[in-house]
Amino acid sequence: MIIYDKKQHIFQLNTKSTSYMIGITPEGYLGHIYYGERLQHIDGGYLLRMEEYPYTPERNKREKCVFLESFPMELPTGGIGDFRESCLDIRDEHGCLGTEILYKEHRIYSGKTPLEGLPASFVTASQMDTEDAGTAVQTLELICQDRVLGVEVVLSYTAFEREDVITRSVRVHNRGEQTLTIEKIYSACLDMDYEEDYELLTLPGAWARERRIQRRRIGYGRQSAASIRGESGHQEHPFIALVTPGTTQTQGDVYAMHFVYSGNFLGQVEVSQHDMIRMTMGIHSYEFGWKLTPGQSFQAPEVVLTYSSEGLGKMTRSLHDFYREHLIRSRYKNTERPILINNWEATYFDFTTEKLLDIAQTAKDCGIELFVMDDGWFGRRNNDESSLGDWYVNEAKLTGGLKYLVDSINKIGLKFGIWFEPEMISPDSDLFRAHPDWMIQIPGREPTLSRAQGVLDLSNPEVEEYAYESVARILRSAPIMYVKWDMNRQLSDLGSAYLSKEHGRELLRYVLAVYRMQERLIKEFPDLLLENCSGGGGRFDPGMLYYSPQIWCSDDTDAVERLGIQEGTALIYPLSTIGAHVSVCPNHTVGRNTPFVTRGHVALAGTFGYELDVTKLSEEEKALIREQTEMYHTYQLLIRNGDYYRLASYAENHYYDAYMVVSKDQKEALMTFVQVLAEPNRRSRKVHLQGLDPEAVYYCDVTQREYTGEILMKGGMLIGDLWGDAVSRLYHFEKR
């Protein structure tokens, strides 16, 4: 899969349908030759254009500055004459910023080495053992050095053959004598020719409006998606893709980068003077600076790259397969996840033991399996003004205590789950009164609160220990099988009473502490089902997926709004990771009424659960829950493991939405169609199915007739007789 051609000094990384090529110049620069459709031969060193000297009249002389400005670098460094965006900037002891890395040697091996302290894709021993043709995973490490700084820089590439993914990361070792500061380190760069009017696809959003697909034509200069909020955020997403004009689900070129990290990031595309594109992804350099004393090293997080020559759909399925196979851990990855009911929208802060038991009993009768107690069970938390940090049970509210509640719920026949927001501190809390210096803030400046709360300074190991123990202590006290780990504000006022001045820009320590805590948690409680959350979907990223197999997608539970949010999310994340619940109408966020059936169908394209007061529902609605829980059991395997195809987008056409999931063996498929707005005097709609076996005959449960796979895909399926707004239908197809 990974080949080194000694004569041409070219590395070629092959996956099932893509190839990636790197060349070494005589001086030792690593140049990017090619990323695209799979190649059968190693060739193409000339594409580095080593003989061209833009704007130098003397043809036989190549000045370094001219070279640096036009050479397609694998990992461009800053300060020495390449004025495009750099990926690595190191400041020396004299205060100078200049870095230049040249190739020294390389290593190629089977498998992949973990990234210390960071979430990262992996290949398990059993995956390696059962490696059949086409499922290989190999790593290339390019070891480079900057002799002046005395640093060694390792560029790692892992090729995942079957999933058409290449991951990249960078490690810097200080092998010299001086203390250095890494001022910028991005994990991946793709230098390409600006041959097409590429569009940049990003996933911007807001609270309750996460991950809407946006495409814009790129031009000269820099265009980006970024976060300086201390988390990946609702507002931008650590994902960028370049697509050729007119790219659809089934055609067009797509180059995608997705960052396995949950803090500040920058994904950027720069078009420069010589019509070159530089696409980069990494930790944002805002408030970033990492001291590296002699002997120390720094590992940057990983970027997932994928290329598709068959449009966005192929990219989606490559990423879904990749995350399911090589990023998500958890015992629940391959077992059925329990259908949960969460009391947040049912009660908000206003509940008692009795009320919760009532909900649980009715939920049980409807087929629900797990009860989750949300915010409000601790300290004096009767609204969001206080008590974050005081993680002891409010026994005035929960009469009988937590153990009694959990046991009673277990007795009803439901499992128990609980909500935490471990990274936070309310100024009105016992914790803050005891440790005001544990909150992130700038000395002498009134801290900016958000939702009346501050953030714990997790760079301080004592604080990290406190936060971890707050969660673990509760989990040790009762049989709790699920935790919702929330994070409801973004980071500002970046000052730490703990970190010394030289380490003041090491915000990354916060993110690393979150990773460490979650790693400890899933190790100490291996049967725990962890769901991450951040004011809805503000920290939905591959970094968090490494710890929790599911993430709450958005606080907006309205079925129509969810169509767009889930479309953007499912563009890059498997449906099994998307937290989705049926809630009450009028919807609490937008006030819209949608049929109960539609709410169930939309939530089915995610983890599936409920978030409403079941005791207040009509008998008819409770009967619908019973039907829906059965529907979930019937289809959950297919939805969790199948191939996802986007057929129509409500966000684009404003009238209807359609998507389907096909089992890997193509024996079964489930299509969801939602008519969002009805139109008068309209013929049936035609939807072209995808991913079926064209030669097979499928039986459809709705129309009760047989079709060939070929006609469903080429001719299309007719969808008629839907009456009203926001009405939906599931179509199940079974191979005959």
Q: Supply the residues annotated as catalytic.
A: 486, 555
Contact of 372 with 482, CB cutoff 8 Å: yes
> Hey, is 556 helix, strand or coil?
coil
**Residue 558 within binding range of ligand GLA, rule CB under 6 A:** no
CB of 249 or CB of 488, closer to ligand GLA: 488
Q: Count interface residues toward ligand GLA (CB under 6 A).
A: 11
> Hey, is 628 helix, strand or coil?
helix
**Residue 555 within binding range of ligand GLA, rule CB under 6 A:** yes
CB of 167 or CB of 488, closer to ligand GLA: 488
Nearest alpha-carbon partner for 243 in 276, 199, 213: 199
From the list 352-360, 528-536, 588-596, 704-712, the region that binds ligand GLA by CB under 6 A is: 528-536
CB of 378 or CB of 659, closer to ligand GLA: 378
Torsion angle, alpha carbons of 347, 348, 353, 355, to 10: 0
CA distance linking residue 603 with residue 610, whole number of Å: 9
From the list 184-192, 227-235, 242-250, 533-541, the region that binds ligand GLA by CB under 6 A is: 533-541
Min CB(208)–ligand GLA separation in Å: 9
CB of 174 or CB of 488, closer to ligand GLA: 488
Please give the residue whose beta carbon sits closest to ligand GLA in the complex: 375
Within 278-307, the residues that bind ligand GLA by CB under 6 A are: none
**Residue 183 within binding range of ligand GLA, rule CB under 6 A:** no
Q: Work out the angle at residue 157's Cα, subtended by the Cα atoms of residues 156 and 161, and round it to the nearest 5 degrees.
A: 155
CB of 29 or CB of 547, closer to ligand GLA: 547
**Residue 535 within binding range of ligand GLA, rule CB under 6 A:** yes
**Residue 375 within binding range of ligand GLA, rule CB under 6 A:** yes
Q: Point out which residues pair with 227 in neighbouring strands.
A: 265
Nearest alpha-carbon partner for 343 in 328, 327, 360: 360
CA distance linking residue 371 with residue 521, whole number of Å: 20
- Provide the mask over 474-513, with x wherever binding to ligand GLA is found by CB under 6 A and - wherever it is not: ------------x-x-------------------------
CB of 486 or CB of 561, closer to ligand GLA: 486
Contact of 349 with 379, CB cutoff 8 Å: no
Please report the sign of the dihedral spanned by the C-alpha atoms of residue 503, residue 507, residue 511, residue 513: positive
**What DSSP string describes 462-508?**
HHHHHHHHHHHHHHHHS---EEEE---S---S---SSS-GGGTTBTH
Min CB(350)–ligand GLA separation in Å: 13
**Residue 610 within binding range of ligand GLA, rule CB under 6 A:** no
CA distance linking residue 254 with residue 247, whole number of Å: 8
Within 632-671, the residues that bind ligand GLA by CB under 6 A are: none
Count of C-beta atoms within a 10 Å radius of residue 342? 25
- Out of 332, 371, 377, 419, the only residue in the binding site for ligand GLA (CB under 6 A) is 419
CB hemisphere CA count around 688 (13 angstroms): 8
**Residue 374 within binding range of ligand GLA, rule CB under 6 A:** yes
Min CB(180)–ligand GLA separation in Å: 40
Quick one: three-class SS letters along 658-707? EEEEECCCCCEEEEEEEECCCCCCCCCEEECCCCCCCCCEEEECCCCEEE
Reading the block at residue 202, the tokens are 């990003």
From the list 143-151, 472-480, 498-506, 530-538, the region that binds ligand GLA by CB under 6 A is: 530-538
Within 330-359, the residues that bind ligand GLA by CB under 6 A are: 344
Min CB(485)–ligand GLA separation in Å: 10
Min CB(563)–ligand GLA separation in Å: 19
From the list 229-237, 301-309, 529-537, 612-620, the region that binds ligand GLA by CB under 6 A is: 529-537
CB of 486 or CB of 643, closer to ligand GLA: 486
Phi and psi, residue 596, nearest 5°:
-60, -40
Min CB(579)–ligand GLA separation in Å: 9
Min CB(266)–ligand GLA separation in Å: 26
CA distance linking residue 228 with residue 284, whole number of Å: 7
Q: Point out which residues pair with 208 in neighbouring strands.
A: none
- Out of 552, 573, 673, 731, the only residue in the binding site for ligand GLA (CB under 6 A) is 552
**Residue 422 within binding range of ligand GLA, rule CB under 6 A:** no
**Residue 181 within binding range of ligand GLA, rule CB under 6 A:** no
CA distance linking residue 8 with residue 63, whole number of Å: 23
- Provide the mask over 261-280, with x wherever binding to ligand GLA is found by CB under 6 A and - wherever it is not: --------------------
CB of 176 or CB of 609, closer to ligand GLA: 609
C-alpha dist (Å) from residue 404 to 351, 372, 379: 15, 15, 18
- Out of 238, 252, 454, 536, the only residue in the binding site for ligand GLA (CB under 6 A) is 536
Contact of 87 with 185, CB cutoff 8 Å: yes
**Residue 533 within binding range of ligand GLA, rule CB under 6 A:** yes
CB of 335 or CB of 352, closer to ligand GLA: 352
**Residue 205 within binding range of ligand GLA, rule CB under 6 A:** no
Look at phi and psi of residue 107 and say left if phi exceeds 0, alpha if psi is from -120 to 50, else beta: beta
Contact of 626 with 657, CB cutoff 8 Å: no
Please report the beta strands in 575-662, taking only residues with DSSP state E, as ranges in sequence order.
578-579, 581-583, 609-611, 643-648, 656-662
Min CB(404)–ligand GLA separation in Å: 23
CA distance linking residue 692 with residue 732, whole number of Å: 12
Alpha helix ranges (H) inside 525-558: 542-545
Min CB(109)–ligand GLA separation in Å: 42
Reading the block at residue 462, the tokens are 């004592």
CB of 459 or CB of 534, closer to ligand GLA: 534
Identify residue 59 by its one-letter amino acid code. Answer: R
CB of 85 or CB of 555, closer to ligand GLA: 555
Min CB(452)–ligand GLA separation in Å: 11
Min CB(597)–ligand GLA separation in Å: 24
From the list 10-18, 282-290, 532-540, 626-634, the region that binds ligand GLA by CB under 6 A is: 532-540
Min CB(112)–ligand GLA separation in Å: 33
CB of 76 or CB of 535, closer to ligand GLA: 535
**Residue 532 within binding range of ligand GLA, rule CB under 6 A:** no
Nearest alpha-carbon partner for 153 in 117, 111, 179, 186: 186
Question: Binding residues for ligand GLA, per CB under 6 A?
Answer: 344, 374-375, 419, 486, 488, 533, 535-536, 552, 555
